[in-house]
Amino acid sequence: MAKEESYRFEGRVSYHDTVQDLYENRLKPDGMSTVFDRFDPQAKIRCNFCSEGLSCQLCSNGPCRISHKSGAELGVCGISPDAIAMRDFLLRNVMGTATYSHHAHMAFSTLKSTAQGKTPFKITDEGKLIYMLEKLGLETTGTPEERAERLADFFIAELSADYREPSKTITAFAPAARQKVWQDLAVFPAGVLHEIKDATASCLTNVDGDYISLARKALRLSIACIYGAQIPLEMVQDILFGTPFPHE
C-alpha cells in the first residue's frame, strides 16, 4: 500500500473559516458527502504502483505494473515506466483539452447563431469584435452581424486545421519569440481538434511508446488548447455578453 496522505491540518479541511464553518455546521449535519470525506477512505487503499504512475490498464494485455524487484521492467506491450507515466498524463491532457474545445465550439456556434438571429442574445461588445477581426487579418466590413458570423466561421474552421499552414490564431496572439522556439522544438501545433485526435491515437498500444515523443504531443496539445480554444472562447463570450470590468 502507498503511504497514506492527509490533507487535513489539526482536523480542519480548510484554513478558511467560512469554508470550515460550512463543512462543520451545514454539510456534515445534513449528511452530505463531500470531496473531503470521500478522499479519506480512498487514501487508505491506494497502492504504490498507481500512486507512482507505474500501472496501466489501457489494453486487454494488462493490467500491467512495473516492478524492478520482480523483473517486470516493461509492460506486456514493451512500454517503459517513463512512457507509461507520460502516456497517462497525455490522456489527462486530452480530456481537459477536449472539454475546453467543446466549450469553444459551443461559444463559436452561439456567436454564429446569434448573428443569424437564432438566439435571444445580441452582439454586445462591437469594439472587441472589430479588434479580433483586425488582429486575425479578416475583413471588418459589413454589419455587426455579418462581422460576427465571419469571425465565428473562422474560429470553427481553425478548430480542425491541420499542419498544412500555421495556425492563424497562434500567429496573431503568441509572442513571436515563443513561436520560433515552438517551431524549433517541433511543438508548434495544428488545430486543437487535430491535436486531440493525434494525441489520442498515439496512446493506443504500440503506436507511440517513446516518452519524449508523448511529452512533445502534450506540449503541442497545450499550446493548441490555449490559442485555439481558450483565448478565442473568452473573446467570443465577451463579444456576446460584454467584457467584464472591475467594479466597486
Provide the residue-wise pLDDT of the chain in tens; the chain has 248 residues: 555 556 677 778 888 999 899 989 999 899 998 888 888 888 888 888 877 778 888 888 879 998 888 888 999 999 999 999 999 999 999 999 999 999 999 999 999 999 999 999 999 999 999 999 999 999 999 999 999 999 999 999 999 998 888 889 999 999 999 999 999 999 999 999 999 999 999 999 989 999 999 999 999 999 999 999 999 999 999 999 999 888 77
pLDDT, position 9: 74
pLDDT, position 6: 62
Q: Fill in the DSSP letter of residue 227.
A: I
The residue whose grid cell reads 495556425 is: 167
Q: Are 182 and 83 in contact (CB under 8 A)?
A: no
Distances (CA, A) of 85 to 2, 5, 70, 115, 206: 17, 21, 19, 45, 15
- Give, in degrees to the nearest 5, the angle at Cα 44 between 39 and 48: 110
b/e for 165-191, b at 16 or more Cβ within 10 A? eebbbbeebbeeeebeebeeeebbbbb
pLDDT, position 132: 97
Q: Are 173 and 200 in contact (CB under 8 A)?
A: no
Domain ranges of the chain: 81-241
Q: Are 132 and 158 in contact (CB under 8 A)?
A: no
- Nearest alpha carbon to residue 46 among 38, 206, 167, 30: 38
Distances (CA, A) of 207 to 26, 125, 186: 50, 46, 19
pLDDT, position 7: 66
Q: Three-class SS of residue 194?
A: helix
Domain boundaries 81-241, corresponding CATH code: 1.20.1270.30
Q: Are 12 and 20 in contact (CB under 8 A)?
A: yes
pLDDT, position 35: 87
Which residues are CB-neighbours of 238 under 8 A, at least 6 positions away? 124, 125, 128, 244
pLDDT, position 15: 87
Cell of 16: 478558511
pTM: 0.85
